[in-house]
Structure formats: structure tokens, C-alpha cells
Structure 1
Amino acid sequence: MASPLSRDTSNSVDEIHLRKLDRNSTDKFTKDIFRQQDNYTSFVSNLENAVQFNGYNLFLKYKPKFQLRNKLLLYDAVTGSRHNYQPSKDGKILMTRWLEFQLPEMYEKNTKTQHRYESNVFQYESEKNTNDNEIDVEWYLNFAHNDLFLYYGSSLLAQDELQVLECLQLASIREFLVADPSHFSSYTIENGQPRPILISNVERVINLDTENIYGNRFAHAPQDVLFKSYKYLKPPLITNIIAIEAPSGGQGHYDLSTIRYVISECYTAFKAAKLLAIKTYELNSKESFDETKTVKTIIHTGWFGCGAYGGNHSLMLILQLIGAQLADVDKIVFHTVSRGFDNEIAKADEYMTKLFEGNDKDKMTVDDLINKIFKEKFEWGESNGT
């Protein structure tokens, strides 16, 4: 059993009912996270850290600290007299940080991973699974900075900051990380290696229509435009977050190491989501998992690393899809914002379709796959400035 934390009421950790990974004992918390899934023991050592919060107490103890006037206006509207938002008192949030997984040796042509494109932003609406014997657990990417949620309170409103503004408990998580870094590292990259951070069971309390206020425009938006842009969600939507940072600032052709990095980062993050599926379902639903049913993992992503970071749109679709296939997730959904990227999508799909041309086998080594992608000479794009 994990070592009990101090019951001193001055201990801020204890006040938020934190449950923490204990590497020095047979840890029931670890077993609770992995739930004896097939082959889970080979991944236990890659769970670098895990903490579980009472989401209500976390929010009260670590209040969001928005610096920008417009973010403060929204925060005050949501938590003040207009809506008086408070998180559910019995909701639990699980945060895990993962060491990089070793990539599988082989990449197979035939995979169970489905993928599709939607010309919209994240909708956070659950898939409608008509199979009563299946349970879907859905995850949404946070296109993170290497220091998690670092700029959430700033003037910027890109994908990362938007997600925090809509899911205010994420801001409280940032304040917890800053208050005592010894409990949990906030970095999604360490010594050049990916360290995905997954957060299960946070409340999305507003839906913000960013058509007229995205990016640098947010800071200058008039109050009336701001208030017309959001919808308060009652009850809140429950969501699960995968935070990883994409490579940035490249020029010319993508090199081998960058291609390998993105595949490995996505594989690690998506495999972790799959490993957390049962535990996350129980947190989301507040119900015990029915072992007669099958759990399905769905990843929602988009133009990861293609905005301010200047990534190649087609290549980043390809690499995310390969990461999902290697992780054996059930479905990956690419939210492409608009129909303005049909050519980039078509190029990615065409490349994946022809991947095994000239190969009479139905699999290749991952090393050969990475070399094959490298030889295609995908080029970096340009930052869009958001």
C-alpha cells in the first residue's frame, strides 16, 4: 500500500486528498491504475509518477491566476454571480506522467486502428457506440508547451490556453505544480525525451466559440463580443487530456531524429491512454467497470505542431496515425478546423495507402518505416504566429 501522507492540516497536499505513487512498496495505487490488463507489467516501470486529487478541493485550494483582463472577465463570470461554478465535490482527477516507451520492432500493414477527419474543432461530445458490450473512453490532445500550461493566464489564446480556459481545473493543476514541484514534474519533455502527461476526468465548464477571438485577437476583444462567444455548460462535460509538445522551428527537410521523436512521443502517449482506459472510465462514470464488456480507446487530435510551431500538415497527420496504430488504439479522430486543408489530408492518406507498395510482405521494421518516411523529404512549414 502506498505510504500514507501526513495528516497535518497545514499540509496543502493532504487538504486536496492527494493519492500518490509509492515506488518503495507494493503499490495498490499502481494496480488500481493498470487493472491487471494483458501485458501491463511490461509498462509499469514507465509510469514515472501518478497523483489523484479531489477535484473540488483542488480547485478551492489552488485558485486559477489569470493575468489577462479578458480571461479574468470570463473566469469571474463563470465562478461569480453569473454562474457560480464549483466542481463536483466527489469528482476525482488522476494525473500521470510517463517515461518514453520503447517502440515496437515491427509495423504491420493491417491494423485495427480506424481514423477519420472532421472539419471542425474539438466538440467534446462522446461517440455514439451502439454496441452495448463496448465502452468508449475518449481523450483530447493538449498541444502543450514543454512546461505544462505555463502560459494559461497570458494574453495568448491558442489551443493550449483555450483548453485551460474551458476546463478551469487545469489551471488549478498548474498552480499545484508551481506551488510544490517536488510532488510532480510539470515538464512534458526532459533531457530531450518525451514525458507525456495524461489527466483523467476534468470538467469542461464553458464552450468558447473562437471564430472572432482566437490567437492574438483574444486580448483585444470587447467585453460584449467576449460574453457572446461563450456558453456555460451545466452540467459540465467530463473530458480526459493528453499533453505532449511537438517539435518546433525546423527548416528544410525533416530529419530522421525528428520523425522518430514524433512517432515515439505519440506512441507513448496513446499507449498510456489505452493502459489508463479502465481506470479513466471509472473516474468518468463513477461506476465500477463491468469486466464482461470491452473498453475502446479513442484519441481526438488535430494539427499537432502545425500552428505556431510550423510543422508540415500532411506529415504530422501521418506520424500521429502511425503512433496510434503502433499503440493499437481503436480510433483516432483528426479535427481539421475547416475544409481548407483537403489537399494536405489527401496527401497524407495517399502516402499511407502506398506505404507498402513494392513490399510483398504485410509488415516492415519500424526502423525501415522511419527511413522510408525520411526519404520522402517532407518539408517544414512556417509558423502562423498564433
Structure 2
Amino acid sequence: MSSIERSTLQKIKENIFSHLRDYYSFTASELVKENPPTWYCQNKKVVYNMACPNGADSFHGTLKYTQWTQFDLPKSFNIEEKNAIGGGRKEKLEIEILNDVFDYSPPDDDNTVVWYINFADLNLFAYYGGSLFAQDEMQCLEHPALCSLHDKLETIPDGSPTRTRTTISSGKSIATPVLIRGVERQAFIKTDCNETEGRPYGLYGNQFAIANVDAVKLATTVFDKRLDNKGNPYYSNIIAIEAPKYGKGYYTNSTIRMVIETAYSGFLAARFESLVETNVLERKYKDSEHTIIPENDEIIAPKVIIHTGNWGCGAYGGNISIMACLQFAAAHLAGIDKVVYHAIDDKSQSEVNIGLEIYKELIMDVNGMIKIDDFITKVERKKFKWGFSNGT
């Protein structure tokens, strides 16, 4: 654990005030009662009814929603530059690559905050009720309060709280990451191929809607309350960011920059929100002075872990190697302590490892100044090609 100087915390507070666009707090049961999800896919409705047999009374906890405007990238990866925005890292970024899916397990201790990426669409959680069952929709069905959150946000007239990108006055499109703390996971749906259990083609993507309902039920595990190792309920934290989509040919300098800007903005916002989660900062939801610094004797920085995967590499047709590399680079920039990359299978893991080696080559193993512009140019020269949409 490392301490934070109060002067650094003040810089972080200033960054929060200049980039926090919207913030709301919702009691989960009230949110769902007032905004019950709408299901167009019968199999999703079946899972929802299994996971939430008492309707809104099945929900617990409080969702804390924030939306952020894009952060400017630092000039370099060096510590001195990052400290200007409360970032920086004294230790190397820890990276773990796994061949599995998100398990949303509890943190190891009270001073660790764990986040999970939502592979978002431009319109946050917009397709939760339809037939598609890709990563975004899976996360929503397993955390069904997110469905009600989408419907609630759609009723808010000011701003665009369900938009993960926006166009500013200059005409430039910028990221507007959405972070949600404290959403309850109420089900787990297995999507792997298993002929014995009635899903020979799996349940991912377009297969879910056409699967036999009994196979869907068999694939579903329902949680009452998830408890940590101390017997306390715990909840998931979500970072919703949209990747670039449907590119052709080689990744360009501008696309590479866009990926880093988007991931960095979401990751840095998560680092700042982790300070709120661990009470290093205090959030007031009905006050213009929305984020304050409590008078604590000692300020300990939480450990921040981000779980991610093949973001933008399914329906959007992205290249796994470069997208992995750029996510590692963004986490490095944002001062994240650990990235857990869920590669799903051996083929994907081999592609992720290529991205990891490039990250090591261009950033982690380099001594001296590493300018962002130089890094982007060097990645562009690697000539990574776009893939093809998987149709999901």
C-alpha cells in the first residue's frame, strides 16, 4: 500500500471537477420498481425471472453512476508527467492473462477496488432486451439492474447520460466513459459449447435467442447474495467504453490514438472513483461541491485492478494483438496497479501475448523518456490489420 500526499489529492479533485459530467445515485430496488426491464427475447425474460423471482424486491444495494469527459493524454509515459494529474507509478504494471470469462469475484481486501470492462455500444446498454447475447448484453443480463439503469437514464433530459461518446464543438468525437459502482450480479450464464447440456453451438451471440429454453435454464446459475470472505455482500464495478469499429486495412495513427484516449479516460476515471469507493474522497450527490477531501490523518491509495478482454474484437472486427497492447499502455498511463486480461481461449491468448510483447518492447522495458506520440508512431509501423466482424 502507498500513501497519497494531500497536494496530489487536491490535483485529483481538480481533475474530477473538470471532467465529471454527470453523477447519480440509485437505490437498486427503487430503480427497478420504477423502470422494470423490457424484454423482446423470451430466453432473456426466462433468465430474468429465474434470477429475480420477487421482482424489484430481489435487488439490493445502491448504484453509483458517473459519466466523464475525455482526459487529455500526458506527453509521455514518464512518472513526472503523470504526477501532474495524480497518476504515476512506482511499480511495474502487473498483468495476468487468463483463458476464461469474467467471474466478478470479490477483492482480496478492503483496500482493493476491482473493475470490469463493458464492451459498450455508443448507446449504453441499449440492446439488453433484444436477441443478441454478446459481452455487453451478457453483462446486463447477469447484472439486470443495468437494464433498468439504461431505461432510467433515457428519461433524463439534460445531457446524454447513455452516450459513451459525444461530438464537441470542434467536430471531434471524444470518449465519455460511464462508470457504475455497486451493481449486483444475480446470475451466471454458461455460453460454452456443451452438447450434453443441450447447447451444442454454445449460447454466445445469436445462439442464445434460438436455444432451447430448457438448455438456457440449465446453463443459468442464480445468486441470492454474493458474499465475500468476511460474509459481507459485494457488488460489481463497471467501466463502459466503446471501441472503434468496422475499420479496414491497417490501423492508422488517429485510430491508435483514439483507442488509447478512450481506454485511458475510462481507466483514469476508475482510478479516481476507486478513491471515492475507499473513502479517500467523499462524493455528495446533491451538492455542487460533489467531491471533497475528508480530514484523514493518513491517506492510503487503494489498489486498482481492471479486468478486460478482447474489447472491440468481436462484432466490431478489431485486432486482438493491438487492442491488448493499447489497453496495457492505457492502464500504464493511468497508474492502474493490475490488469487481468481474459483471453477466452488459446488462440486469443497467443494474440494477446503478441500485444504484451510489444507493450514490453516499447514501454515497460525502456529506460528514459517515452513520448506518447513516438509510441503511437511505433505501433502504427507494426502494421496491424483490422479483422472482420464475427457477426454478433
Same fold (TM over 0.5): yes
Secondary structure at 2:154's aligned position in 1? helix
Moved over 4 A (4+): 288-293, 356-359
Return the alpha-carbon distance in structure 1 between the equivalents of residues 312 and 304 of structure 2.
23
Equivalent residue for 2:103?
123
Return the alpha-carbon distance in structure 2 between the equivalents of residues 153 and 333 of structure 1.
29
Return the alpha-carbon distance in structure 2 between the equivalents of residues 167 and 35 of structure 1.
38
Among 358, 373, 376, the residue aligned to 1:351 = 358
* Counterpart mapping for 1:10-21 below 5 A: none
* Counterpart mapping for 1:87-126 below 5 A: 87-88=59-60, 91-108=61-78, 112-126=92-106
1:175 and 2:157 are equivalent in the alignment: no
Return the alpha-carbon distance in structure 2 between the equivalents of residues 57 and 96 of structure 1.
19
Letter in 2 for 1:366: I
Among 46, 68, 83, the residue aligned to 2:41 = 68
Q: Please state how far the C-alpha of 1:128 moved relative to its aligned partner.
A: 3.1
Instruction: Give CA-to-partner distance per residue, 1:184-222, whole Å, 9 cap, x none.
Output: 521001011110000110000011111121110001111
CA RMSD of aligned residues (A): 2.6
Would you say the 8 A contact 1:107–1:369 is kept in 2?
Answer: no
1:226 and 2:232 are equivalent in the alignment: no
Q: Please state how far the C-alpha of 1:294 moved relative to its aligned partner.
A: 3.6
1:255 and 2:242 are equivalent in the alignment: no
> Structure 2: which 5+ residue stretches go unaligned?
1-5, 80-89, 168-172, 193-201, 227-233, 281-293
TM-score, length-normalised on structure 1? 0.82
Equivalent residue for 1:14?
none
Corresponding pairs, count: 341
Would you say the 8 A contact 1:111–1:328 is kept in 2?
Answer: no
Q: Please state how far the C-alpha of 1:369 moved relative to its aligned partner.
A: 1.0
Would you say the 8 A contact 1:177–1:183 is kept in 2?
Answer: no
Change (3 A) 1:358 1:318: closer
Among 138, 144, 155, the residue aligned to 2:120 = 144
Return the alpha-carbon distance in structure 2 between the equivalents of residues 356 and 269 of structure 1.
20
Equivalent residue for 2:175?
194
Letter in 1 for 2:222: Y
* Counterpart mapping for 1:1-386 below 5 A: 37-40=9-12, 41-80=14-53, 86-88=58-60, 91-108=61-78, 112-128=92-108, 135-182=111-158, 185-191=161-167, 192-211=173-192, 212-236=202-226, 237-281=234-278, 291=298, 293-355=300-362, 361-386=367-392
Return the alpha-carbon distance in structure 1 between the equivalents of residues 65 and 225 of structure 2.
22
Would you say the 8 A contact 2:116–2:236 is kept in 1?
Answer: yes
Change (3 A) 1:346 1:184: closer
Return the alpha-carbon distance in structure 2 between the equivalents of residues 280 and 181 of structure 1.
28
Q: Please state how far the C-alpha of 1:180 moved relative to its aligned partner.
A: 3.0
Return the alpha-carbon distance in structure 1 between the equivalents of residues 356 and 17 of structure 2.
34
Change (3 A) 1:123 1:193: same
Instruction: Give CA-to-partner distance per residue, 1:130-160, whole Å, 9 cap, x none.
Output: xxxx711000000000000111000000000
Letter in 2 for 1:234: D
Letter in 2 for 1:76: N
Instruction: Give CA-to-partner distance per residue, 1:259-291, whole Å, 9 cap, x none.
Output: 0001011111000000011322469xxxx9995
Change (3 A) 1:383 1:35: farther
TM-score, length-normalised on structure 2? 0.81
